[in-house]
Copies of this chain bind each other. A is one copy, B any other.
Amino acid sequence: MKFSVTILGSGAAIPTIERKPTAQLVSVRECAILLDCAEGTQIQIITFRKRLHKIKYIFITHLHGDHYFGLIGMLTSMHLLGRQKELTLFGPPGLKEIIDIQLHHSKTTLIYPLIFKTVDADVTELLLDDGRITVTSFPLKHSIPTWGFLIREKPLSRGIRKDFAGNHDIPIPEFERIKNGHDYIDDKGIVYKNEDITIAPPRVRSYAYCTDTAYFEDIIPVIKGVDVLYHEATFTHELADNAHEKLHSTVLEAATIAKKAGAGKLIIGHFSARYRETEALLKEAVDIFPNTIVAEDGMEIDI
């Protein structure tokens, strides 16, 4: 089942032709989730042939403009395009006020339900469990309150082997019991062990999104063993002073977090506009964490 992330913006605060500021679109279990929404995100979605109306949840990490200035435009475009279905927005306190004041001055009342949920705790918190996925927020270390998000599939039940189901006239109520791990006893009293007649569900996968943040080992227990980690890497380590002053990470630091967390793969992004070429960025990462890729706008990565 599809679980992928599309990079809509891989740059830091100053947009360039090649790299727009931060946004990502995650597709998981038939559900589209937007992570951050910088200026121009709705255009990036059109450019990369994704669909605005499919987005069901939006998560905003913090109130620096390069992570949310595109939100109000996207919300009003959804309104103008006739969206009816509910949209749930998770974000910092203050975000609702910013949206409301702009809707007020344009005399706009959104025609779809916009549910706002505040992420305001200094703790790791389960924000969403919709039966198919969970999303957990966890504090990062930045100049204003900022959270990372961990998206995790929920386990599916076991699948009944097709050859067995085809050869046995299993009553409908028994299907759920077998999927949940029970043995099956047919009408002649023959017992079929669950492990013989079912196959294990696919492994649950997870994606962690960590931006913006200084090097912060506190996140390691939360993201331990994640399949794919996106970690900001605004500067090369040569500019570590710059990074530390602004509470950003260097590439080396992002790779160190990936290594210590035992991540399966690392995506680095949120690059300062000064980096036109990415060879040096990639090299700095792979020396520490080989399975690293450099985010590019429009890139789609399978989890």
Q: Which residue of B lies closest to A104 (CB)?
A: B94
**A124-150: which residues lie under 8 A (CB-CB) from chain B?**
143-144
Contact with B along A106-134 (1 / 0, CB 8 A): 11000000000000000000000000000
Interface string of A203-230 (1 = CB under 8 A from B): 0000000000000000000000000000
Give chain B residues whose Cβ lies under 8 Å from the Cβ of A264. none
Q: Is the CB of A63 within 8 A of B106?
A: yes
Q: How far is the CB of A237 from chain B (nearest CB, A)?
A: 22
**Complex: A43 Cα to B42 Cα, angstroms:** 14
Tell me the smallest distance from the CB of A47 to a CB of chain B, in Å: 6
Which chain B positions have C-beta within 8 A of A102? 63, 65, 69, 98
Cα-based distance from A46 to B14 in the complex (angstroms)? 11
Report the separation of the CA atoms of residues A143 and B20 in the bound assembly, to the nearest whole angstrom: 33
- The residue that A69 contacts in the complex, of B63, B64, B73, with Cβ under 8 A, is B73
Contacts A80-B14, A81-B14 known; A73 to B39 CB distance under 8 Å?
yes
Give residues of chain A (89-103) contacting chain B, Cβ–Cβ below 8 Å.
92, 94-95, 97-98, 101-102
Assembly stoichiometry (copies): 2
B46 near A16 with CB under 8 A, answer yes
Interface residues of A in 42-92 (CB under 8 A from B): 42-43, 46-47, 63-65, 69-70, 72-73, 76-77, 80-81, 92
Complex: A262 Cα to B134 Cα, angstroms: 64
Given A39-B39, A70-B39, A73-B69, A63 and B105 contact (CB-CB distance below 8 Å):
yes
* 30 contacts across the A-B interface (CB closer than 8 A): A13-B76, A13-B80, A14-B77, A15-B42, A15-B73, A16-B46, A17-B43, A39-B42, A39-B43, A39-B69, A39-B70, A40-B43, A63-B102, A63-B105, A63-B106, A65-B73, A65-B76, A69-B69, A69-B73, A92-B105, A94-B101, A94-B105, A95-B105, A98-B98, A98-B101, A98-B102, A98-B105, A106-B144, A107-B143, A107-B144
A13-B77, A17-B43, A17-B46 given; 7 more Cβ-contact pairs under 8 Å:
A14-B80, A14-B81, A39-B43, A39-B73, A69-B72, A98-B102, A106-B144
